């Protein structure tokens, strides 16, 4: 299966060397919201999604002896006071030259001594303030939350039973609007919501896809709806990337839902196939583009062909459309520049495709019997394609495009080394996306192509990844594995020098070798996949206790996306520069046990890490990274933990008397607010419950002292990503 991950835009590419990283301009740790806004060109946006009787239940900040004493001890050790939301922002590089005294670095002993009294004063002031907490219950579990409108105050929520709710005050109060859909023109039968789709061009435009044949469109942020002039199910729907009235959608014909040979099947007078339609008036009318379609998409803004419709189509267009999910020699890549009036074949046997940041990728079937493919790449909108050239000849089963944001491609290739299909190799391309070199072998993946490989969204050239390693089970798995990463780097260097490393044979020999045990380890690259290293483990835990860990097997390992059902994966936000959070453990490898997992935080782009809290928590960032909010999602809890100073000190408050299973904590798409939504359920089969958490009530003061960073009178400190 050929899958893709949505890339996030970067500002520029770091050269593939460590020395270049130190040349990057210095940055300042800022807690000034006003300063963040002036730097909006650098601080990018980010998106992370997932309520009607309303009861307000404010809770005070707890200063209980256990948690608070530990927190304060941890805060003194880190030496920074809690204050208004801080984040990383660009600071002029020449400041380091003009006044080196302003740049002493992180957490000096003098800074700790100067600021301890400030810390006590700030901590005491919290005791008299409260986070505003509002609780709302719903008919069933909460499945989706989407922000719409222009001010991020309007939110839509869908429950498991297909009910739709709307909030106009950022999630504090909610109204069920399912009946509003029923009252829309010509709506028939029971209305149940299947999905919510917000237009990327006009956030006021919202499509509500019904579970059957009733679908609704709103142009005023779900205040009113009208029914689509479309009387069939919707399988996929894509808004146009630039035109708010344009959209394409697909449906399976009625024959696909009728039993073969039945009267209803005969009456449909249609074969079962997947049809593609377009609308240019936001659903008031639809016209057919093509039938027997597999995949479809609009063009790409960077390629200047957004009005073109690209799709893959079965060559034989009669009878029932095959639904086999593998690679097919009978499917081709097609396109139309005029909504189906003329259709041209672009790639023979082109089964899957992706357009992203000026690149056009196509997976072309090489051998249908062996289920192998080859990758074609175009940078001229499909006028010409070139075969992607990997460093060695190995079978290619599927691809995941990991990142295209920095004038190169990070590509994961599933070579099908074993029946599990849970690993693949990561390659990095040249600027044209044609020639590739090996970056990281054995990267963890799922059967659907989700990879444990993530770009740190707030920085250029920084990636986190998990890879599978093999160790001799005759010795302890913790028995000193420092050479493993060195061997990995040697293998990559040999490949780069032209030595033909037959990875396929290597994997077969490993598979047949006795007494082998597979483990997962986490690595980070600061130069866009050029060099990988283990994460530096913290020296003390969140309680100030020394972590007893032999140096030759003492690294930090974090959970990735493949274990999302058990642990929150490593996570970064474009607006929170340099901040990364994750769950995992310190040791030789990643442990699967829940009682071994803790929550970790980096505030310098992955260079160093601290243990933020004991246990595995779910987390979210607000105030451009200045406010971190967490809750335990491994067991029932009624406690929320937060930090105003990037994890150096933590405070907690209770949601109420009744604990709940926390599913997630979310915030508006820009992560600039200090209002969060925490949701979950009190029992596994019970109704959904949501808490609106408003930290505005703490009245955090604006920051000062930008031109005197690192001084006792300043709320700013310097940092360089080196």
Q: Which residue has the higher pLDDT, 83 or 632?
A: 632
Confidence of residue 51 (pLDDT cuts 50, 70, 90): very low
- pLDDT at 417 (0 to 100): 67
Of 210, 169, 172, nearest in space to 189 by CA: 210
Measured in residues, the chain has a length of 722
Average pLDDT over residues 575-592: 96
Statement: residue 95 has pLDDT above 50: no
Q: Where are the alpha helices (DSSP H) in 497-586?
A: 503-512
pLDDT tens track for 502-523: 444 444 444 443 345 789 999 9
Statement: residue 422 has pLDDT above 70: yes
Two structure tokens written together for 271: 């074969």
pLDDT tens track for 205-218: 999 999 888 999 99
SS (H, E, C) 592-619: CCHHHCEEEEECCCCCCCEEEECCCEEE
Statement: residue 78 has pLDDT above 90: no
Confidence of residue 418 (pLDDT cuts 50, 70, 90): low
Statement: residue 399 has pLDDT above 90: yes
Q: Which residue has the higher pLDDT, 56 or 222?
A: 222
Two structure tokens written together for 634: 């491994």
Two structure tokens written together for 616: 């595995």
- pLDDT at 186 (0 to 100): 56
Average pLDDT over residues 342-359: 97
Burial tier of 147 (Cβ tally within 10 Å: 0-12, 13-18, 19+):
buried
Confidence of residue 109 (pLDDT cuts 50, 70, 90): very low
Cα–Cα distances in Å, from 45 out to 367, 546, 577?
42, 38, 11
Q: Are strands 193-198 and 206-210 parallel, antiparallel or unpaired?
A: antiparallel
For helices 65-78 and 109-126, the axis angle rounded to 10 degrees is 150
- pLDDT at 517 (0 to 100): 73
Statement: residue 457 has pLDDT above 60: yes
Q: What is the rounded CA–CA span in Å between residue 207 and residue 318?
A: 32
Q: What is the rounded CA–CA span in Å between residue 720 and residue 90?
A: 10
- pLDDT at 201 (0 to 100): 96
Q: What is the rounded CA–CA span in Å between residue 456 and residue 209?
A: 33
CB 402 within 8 A of CB 381: no
Average pLDDT over residues 253-260: 79
- pLDDT at 39 (0 to 100): 28
The three-class DSSP label of residue 158 is: strand
Question: What residue has token string 């460590």?
Answer: 18
Statement: residue 364 has pLDDT above 80: yes
Question: What residue has token string 């990267």?
Answer: 443
Which DSSP helix (H) or strand (E) runs through 114?
A: helix 109-126
> What does the radius of gyration of the chain's CA atoms come to, in whole angstroms?
27
Question: What residue has token string 């990327």?
Answer: 200
CB 301 within 8 A of CB 318: no
Of 653, 630, 716, 657, nearest in space to 115 by CA: 716
Q: What is the rounded CA–CA span in Å between residue 647 and residue 674?
A: 16
Q: What is the rounded CA–CA span in Å between residue 217 and residue 194?
A: 14
Percent of the chain with pLDDT over 90: 62
Average pLDDT over residues 133-156: 96
CB 618 within 8 A of CB 633: yes
Q: Which residue has the higher pLDDT, 505 or 590?
A: 590
The three-class DSSP label of residue 47 is: coil
Average pLDDT over residues 525-546: 96
Of 555, 562, 650, 644, nearest in space to 606 by CA: 555
Confidence of residue 660 (pLDDT cuts 50, 70, 90): very high
* pTM score of the predicted model: 0.78
Percent of the chain with pLDDT over 70: 73
CB 96 within 8 A of CB 166: no
- pLDDT at 185 (0 to 100): 60
Of 436, 356, 450, 341, nearest in space to 398 by CA: 450
| Residues 6 or more apart in contact with residue 398 via CB below 8 angstroms | 1, 2, 3, 363, 373, 413, 414, 449
Quote the Cα angle for 170-172-173, to 5°: 110
Statement: residue 64 has pLDDT above 90: no
Q: What is the rounded CA–CA span in Å between residue 221 and residue 279?
A: 20
The three-class DSSP label of residue 86 is: coil
Cα–Cα distances in Å, from 624 out to 30, 33, 45, 67, 572?
10, 8, 10, 26, 11
Instruction: Fill in the DSSP letter of residue 261.
Output: T
Confidence of residue 194 (pLDDT cuts 50, 70, 90): very high
- pLDDT at 70 (0 to 100): 24
- pLDDT at 708 (0 to 100): 87
- pLDDT at 258 (0 to 100): 73
Confidence of residue 551 (pLDDT cuts 50, 70, 90): confident
Statement: residue 684 has pLDDT above 50: yes
SS (H, E, C) 397-439: CEEEEEECCCCCCEEEEECCCCCCCCEEEEEEECCCCCEEEEE
Statement: residue 662 has pLDDT above 50: yes
- pLDDT at 488 (0 to 100): 60
Statement: residue 52 has pLDDT above 60: no
Other CB atoms within 10 Å distance of the CB of residue 121: 11
| Residues 6 or more apart in contact with residue 83 via CB below 8 angstroms | 31, 122, 644, 645, 700, 701, 703, 715
Of 598, 602, 572, nearest in space to 586 by CA: 598
Average pLDDT over residues 313-334: 93
Give me the residues paired with residue 349 across strands.
Answer: none
Which DSSP helix (H) or strand (E) runs through 113?
A: helix 109-126
Q: What is the rounded CA–CA span in Å between residue 270 and residue 319?
A: 9
Confidence of residue 73 (pLDDT cuts 50, 70, 90): very low
- pLDDT at 27 (0 to 100): 29
Q: For 635, phi and psi rounded to 5 degrees?
A: -155, 170
Largest interatomic CA distance in the chain: 86
Statement: residue 682 has pLDDT above 80: yes
Statement: residue 394 has pLDDT above 80: yes
Average pLDDT over residues 144-170: 97
Q: Are strands 206-210 and 154-159 parallel, antiparallel or unpaired?
A: unpaired
Q: What is the rounded CA–CA span in Å between residue 163 and residue 157?
A: 8
pLDDT tens track for 23-46: 222 222 333 332 232 222 222 223
Two structure tokens written together for 194: 């299947």
| Residues 6 or more apart in contact with residue 383 via CB below 8 angstroms | none
pLDDT tens track for 459-480: 999 999 999 997 654 334 444 4
Q: For 710, phi and psi rounded to 5 degrees?
A: 80, -5
- Terminal Cα distance for the chain, rounded: 38
- pLDDT at 516 (0 to 100): 56
Strand blocks (E) in 2-98:
3-4, 27-30, 54-56, 59-60, 87-90
Residue-averaged pLDDT of the chain = 79
């Amino acid at each position: 299966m050929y899958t893709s991950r949505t890339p996030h835009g970067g500002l520029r590419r770091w050269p593939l060397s460590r020395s270049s990283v130190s040349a990057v301009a210095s940055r300042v740790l800022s807690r000034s919201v006003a300063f963040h806004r002036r730097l909006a060109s650098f601080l990018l946006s980010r998106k992370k999604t997932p309520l009607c009787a309303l009861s307000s239940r404010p809770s005070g900040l707890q200063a209980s002896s256990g948690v608070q004493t530990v927190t304060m001890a941890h805060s003194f050790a880190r030496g920074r006071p809690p204050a208004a939301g801080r984040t990383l922002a660009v600071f002029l590089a020449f400041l380091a030259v003009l006044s080196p005294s302003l740049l002493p670095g992180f957490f000096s002993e003098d800074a700790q001594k100067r600021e301890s009294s400030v810390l006590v004063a700030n901590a005491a002031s919290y005791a008299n303030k409260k986070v505003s907490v509002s609780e709302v219950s719903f008919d069933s579990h909460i499945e989706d939350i989407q922000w719409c409108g222009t001010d991020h105050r309007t939110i839509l929520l869908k429950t498991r039973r297909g009910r739709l709710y709307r909030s106009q005050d950022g999630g504090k109060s909610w109204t069920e609007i399912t009946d509003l859909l029923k009252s829309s023109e010509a709506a028939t039968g029971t209305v149940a919501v299947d999905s919510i789709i917000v237009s990327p061009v006009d956030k006021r435009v919202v499509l509500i896809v019904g579970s059957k044949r009733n679908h609704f469109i709103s142009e005023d942020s779900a205040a009113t709806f009208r029914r689509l002039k479309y009387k069939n199910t919707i399988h996929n729907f894509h808004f146009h990337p630039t035109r708010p009235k344009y959209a394409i959608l697909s449906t399976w014909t009625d024959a696909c839902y009728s039993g073969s040979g039945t009267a209803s099947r005969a009456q449909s007078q249609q074969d079962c196939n997947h049809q593609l339609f377009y609308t240019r008036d936001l659903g008031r009318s639809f016209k057919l583009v093509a039938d027997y379609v597999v995949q479809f998409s609009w063009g790409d803004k960077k390629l200047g062909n957004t009005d073109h419709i690209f799709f893959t189509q079965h060559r034989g267009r009669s009878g029932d459309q095959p639904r086999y999910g593998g690679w097919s020699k009978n499917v081709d890549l097609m396109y139309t520049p005029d909504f189906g009036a003329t259709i041209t074949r672009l790639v023979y046997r082109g089964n899957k495709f992706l357009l992203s940041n000026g690149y056009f990728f196509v997976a072309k079937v090489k051998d249908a019997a062996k289920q192998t493919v080859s990758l074609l790449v175009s940078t001229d909108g499909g006028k010409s394609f070139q075969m992607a050239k990997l460093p060695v000849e190995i079978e290619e089963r599927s691809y995941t495009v990991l990142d295209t944001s920095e004038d190169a491609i990070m590509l994961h290739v599933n070579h099908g080394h074993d029946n599990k299909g849970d690993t693949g190799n990561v390659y990095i391309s040249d600027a044209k996306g044609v020639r590739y070199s090996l970056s990281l072998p054995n990267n963890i993946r799922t059967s659907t192509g989700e990879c444990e490989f993530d770009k740190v969204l707030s920085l250029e050239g920084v990636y986190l990844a998990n890879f599978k390693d093999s160790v001799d089970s005759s010795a302890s798995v913790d028995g000193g594995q420092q050479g493993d990463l060195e061997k990995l780097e040697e293998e990559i260097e040999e490949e780069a020098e032209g030595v033909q490393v037959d990875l396929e044979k290597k994997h077969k020999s490993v598979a047949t070798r006795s007494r082998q045990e597979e483990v997962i380890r986490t690595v980070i690259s600061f130069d866009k996949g050029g060099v990988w290293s283990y994460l530096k483990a913290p020296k003390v835990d969140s309680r100030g206790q020394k972590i007893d860990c032999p140096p030759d097997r003492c690294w930090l390992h974090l959970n990735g996306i493949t274990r999302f059902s058990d642990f929150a994966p490593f996570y970064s936000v474009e607006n929170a520069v340099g901040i990364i959070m994750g769950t995992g453990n310190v040791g030789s490898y990643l442990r699967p046990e829940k009682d071994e997992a803790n929550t970790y935080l980096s505030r310098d782009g992955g260079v160093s890490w601290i243990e933020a809290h004991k246990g595995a928590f779910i987390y979210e960032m607000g105030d451009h990274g200045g406010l971190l909010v967490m809750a335990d999602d491994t067991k029932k809890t009624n406690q929320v933990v937060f930090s105003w100073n990037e994890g150096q000190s933590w405070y907690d408050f209770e949601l109420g008397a009744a604990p709940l299973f926390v599913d997630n904590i979310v915030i508006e798409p820009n992560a600039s607010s200090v209002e969060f939504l925490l949701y979950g359920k009190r029992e596994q089969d019970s109704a959904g419950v949501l808490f609106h958490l408003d930290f505005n009530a703490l009245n955090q003061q604006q920051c000062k002292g930008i031109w005197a960073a690192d001084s006792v009178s300043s709320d700013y400190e310097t940092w360089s990503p080196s």
